[in-house]
């Protein structure tokens, strides 16, 4: 086992940050003039360098989160770190080779233009059997792609990227999007929660850093505030909390924010894009499910809760069911059983215990399900654990605490609506999640094949009417984030003064100029066992074969991935 890294990260002083911003600003015009061929060369070097640090990357994340880097659970950090980053690098290379406009299949449904972008080739189709990824474009807008490659920028920009602290691929993916889709050089500020990743990213992207197109700084809110107000920073992107967003845009205190909002006088007028979380709903459409179906989908939702200790903006937080569904009680009992069988995880993210206690104080009926003892093979030392906790029968009413506060801990609520059949339920469920559940980043719809066929008009109408930036149909919406071929961001239209899940998108590997939302469809029962399911038996070996496949795709490496996947 590689020795634990103990050296603390040295913070960046304001003077150092100023010097870095100056250097980046001096190179921003060179970046916009850089040829497509040269950009591809940078991406290819980054692909090589990410692979070189992949082991250290995954281990650092495991150590920080209290996991054994040699346990099968460690595969989770491979998939949401170096693998996700390498996948995006490959997609950008493909897109740039098409001069920012790779060919797509277009159709029109519900009055909207829809582009099918995933899977793209035979290997992908066979790895993701039955999946279909769509980009729904904003009504009335053209299906154009790659604006910066059709209409090269006349003036360079410095983009400040405020990195997220929970998932290690977020900061590099955001930085790459700003570089290659927005045509800006990037000043990446690491989040204090995972600032240990900074030195690894500096190696992974050293070709861009050495040539002055990207740099990394370290510090807390004071450094972030300094850089947001910096005269050399032209645009800002944040992945994090809407509270942090409002502190940047509207002021430090609630009083100042309210005053500025009322006067429409933001503290900064710089363009700002953001991804700010969500109380993520899972809509369970009533149908005739087999015992195996009940078990599979209960385990599916348990995985949506437990992944990354529930510190995901797309973690399942509200299960929406039909009160008249004959199998509702059996399903909820199975869901609680699956959560109870899922080992607790280290609650590594700051404030988790306080947030958890706030929910318990408001919902005394909450049921703590999992043991607070992690399976010994998964951890290295005593853990700061919280049990997975289920809150049944939450009222479907406006302003309900758990429907308006992002938990960012392992809490899952259940809301039942007065409906029995799929058609009536879908109508109510869409209205409920659109209007009463906070945020509009992503949601998941679970619907069995027979019900989907019988109520096809209602199912498709529901997908069209859901005002979420990413919709998973029979697949956890967070997979849309990991694939990165699809846009990831809030549904368009959030005003700056009521930002909800944010503005703008990232990833969007096909560089659509006007995406509205992403829809990823999957079979009701996914085969082989999905990698995001809790208690996957072969995750680490699968991840290591998959990253080898990412480096150099071949049928031989594809076969090895499939073999390991079938052992899950």
Question: Is residue 181 in some structural domain?
Answer: yes
Q: Are residues 313 and 429 in the same domain?
A: yes
251 close to 266: Cβ distance less than 8 angstroms:
no
Q: Are residues 205 and 307 in the same domain?
A: no
Question: Is residue 458 in some structural domain?
Answer: yes
Q: Please identify, among 180, 211, 240, the residue that sits at the C-terminal boundary of a domain.
A: 240
What is the CATH classification number for the domain harbouring 155?
A: 3.40.605.10
Q: Are residues 235 and 284 in the same domain?
A: no
- Give the residue numbers spanning the domain of 566: 538-568
Q: Are residues 77 and 189 in the same domain?
A: yes
Q: Please identify, among 225, 240, 255, the residue that sits at the C-terminal boundary of a domain.
A: 240
- Write 258-263 long-range contacts (CB < 8 A, 24+): 261/497
Q: Are residues 290 and 236 in the same domain?
A: no
Question: Is residue 275 in some structural domain?
Answer: no
Question: Is residue 424 in some structural domain?
Answer: yes
* Of 505, 312, 283, the residue nearest 414 (C-alpha): 283
Question: Is residue 55 in some structural domain?
Answer: yes
What is the CATH classification number for the domain harbouring 295?
A: 3.40.309.10
For residue 332, with 0-12 CB atoms within 10 Å meaning exposed, 13-18 middle and 19 or more buried, which class applies?
Answer: buried
Q: Are residues 288 and 437 in the same domain?
A: yes
Strands (E), 119-276: 132-137, 158-162, 185-190, 214-218, 235-239, 272-275
pTM summary value: 0.96
Give pLDDT, residue 383.
65
Q: Are residues 92 and 164 in the same domain?
A: yes
Q: Are residues 405 and 473 in the same domain?
A: yes
Give pLDDT, residue 376.
44
Question: Is residue 117 in some structural domain?
Answer: no
* 56, 61, 101 from 1: Cα distances, Å: 11, 14, 45
DSSP string of 320-360, one letter each residue = EEETT-TTHHHHHHHHHHHHHHSPP-B--STTHHHHHHHHH
How large is the C-alpha radius of gyration of the chain?
A: 23
Reduced to 3 states (helix: H, G, I; strand: E, B; else coil), residue 49 is helix
pLDDT in tens, 196-238: 999 999 999 999 999 999 999 999 999 999 999 999 999 999 9
Question: Is residue 80 in some structural domain?
Answer: yes
* 71, 150, 208, 506, 553 from 562: Cα distances, Å: 20, 39, 34, 29, 13
Question: Is residue 460 in some structural domain?
Answer: yes
Domain count, the chain: 3
Q: Please identify, among 480, 508, 528, the residue that sits at the C-terminal boundary of a domain.
A: 480
Q: Are residues 454 and 560 in the same domain?
A: no
List of the chain residues with pLDDT < 50:
1-6, 372-377, 381-382
Q: Are residues 226 and 285 in the same domain?
A: no
- Spatial CB neighbours of 225, under 8 Å, sequence gap ≥ 6: 247, 248
Dihedral of alpha carbons 226, 227, 232, 236, sign: negative
Give pLDDT, residue 1.
30
Q: Are residues 229 and 291 in the same domain?
A: no
Q: Are residues 304 and 159 in the same domain?
A: no
Give pLDDT, residue 371.
59
The encoded tokens of residue 395 equal 């009222």
Strand partners, 318: 281, 413
């Amino acid at each position: 086992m590689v020795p634990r890294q103990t050296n603390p990260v040295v913070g960046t002083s304001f003077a150092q940050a100023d010097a870095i911003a100056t250097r980046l600003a001096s190179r921003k015009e060179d970046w916009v003039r850089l040829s497509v061929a040269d950009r591809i060369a940078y991406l290819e070097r980054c692909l090589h360098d990410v692979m070189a640090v992949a082991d250290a990357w995954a281990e650092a994340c495991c150590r920080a989160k209290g996991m054994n880097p040699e346990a099968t659970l460690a595969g989770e950090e491979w998939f949401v770190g170096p693998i996700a980053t390498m996948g995006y690098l490959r997609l950008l290379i493909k897109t740039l080779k098409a001069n920012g406009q790779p060919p797509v299949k277009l159709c029109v449904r519900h009055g909207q233009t829809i582009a099918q972008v995933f899977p793209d080739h035979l290997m992908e189709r066979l790895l993701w059997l039955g999946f279909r990824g769509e980009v729904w474009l904003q009504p009335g807008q053209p299906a154009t792609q790659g604006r910066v490659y059709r209409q090269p920028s006349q003036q360079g920009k410095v983009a400040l990227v405020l990195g997220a602290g929970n998932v290690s691929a977020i900061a590099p993916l955001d930085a790459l999007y700003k570089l290659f889709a927005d045509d800006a050089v990037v000043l990446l500020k690491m989040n204090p929660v995972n600032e240990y990743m900074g030195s690894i990213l500096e190696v992974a992207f050293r070709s861009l850093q050495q040539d002055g197109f990207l740099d990394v700084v370290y510090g807390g809110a004071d450094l972030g505030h300094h850089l947001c107000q910096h005269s050399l920073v032209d645009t800002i992107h944040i992945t994090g909390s809407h509270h942090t967003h409002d502190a940047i845009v509207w002021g430090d205190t609630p009083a100042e924010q309210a005053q500025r909002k009322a006067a429409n006088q933001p503290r900064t007028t710089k363009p700002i894009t953001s991804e700010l979380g969500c109380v993520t709903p899972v809509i369970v459409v009533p149908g005739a499910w087999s015992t195996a179906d009940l078990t599979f989908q209960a385990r599916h939702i348990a995985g949506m809760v437990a992944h990354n200790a529930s510190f995901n903006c797309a973690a399942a937080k509200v299960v929406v069911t039909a009160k008249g569904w004959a199998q509702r009680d059996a399903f909820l009992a199975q869901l609680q059983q699956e959560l109870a069988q899922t080992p607790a995880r280290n609650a590594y993210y700051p404030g988790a215990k306080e947030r958890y206690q706030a929910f318990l104080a408001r919902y005394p009926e909450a049921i703590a399900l999992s043991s607070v003892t992690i399976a010994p093979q998964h951890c290295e030392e005593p853990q700061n654990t919280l049990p997975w906790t289920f809150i049944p029968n939450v009222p479907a009413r406006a302003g309900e605490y758990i429907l308006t506060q992002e938990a960012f801990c392992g809490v899952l609520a259940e809301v039942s609506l007065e409906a029995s059949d799929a058609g009536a339920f879908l109508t109510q469920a869409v209205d409920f999640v659109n209007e009463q559940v906070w945020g509009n980043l992503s949601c998941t719809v679970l619907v069995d094949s027979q019900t989907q066929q019988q109520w096809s008009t209602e199912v498709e109408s529901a997908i069209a009417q859901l005002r979420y930036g990413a919709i998973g149909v029979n697949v956890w919406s967070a997979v849309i984030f990991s694939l990165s071929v699809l846009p990831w961001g809030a549904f368009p239209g959030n005003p700056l003064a009521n930002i909800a899940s944010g503005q703008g998108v990232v990833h969007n590997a096909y560089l659509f100029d006007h995406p509205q939302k992403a829809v990823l469809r999957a079979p009701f029962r996914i085969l082989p066992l999905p990698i995001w399911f809790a208690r996957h038996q072969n995750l680490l070996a699968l991840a290591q074969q998959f990253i080898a496949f990412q480096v150099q795709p071949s049928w031989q490496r594809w076969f090895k991935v499939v073999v390991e996947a079938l052992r899950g």
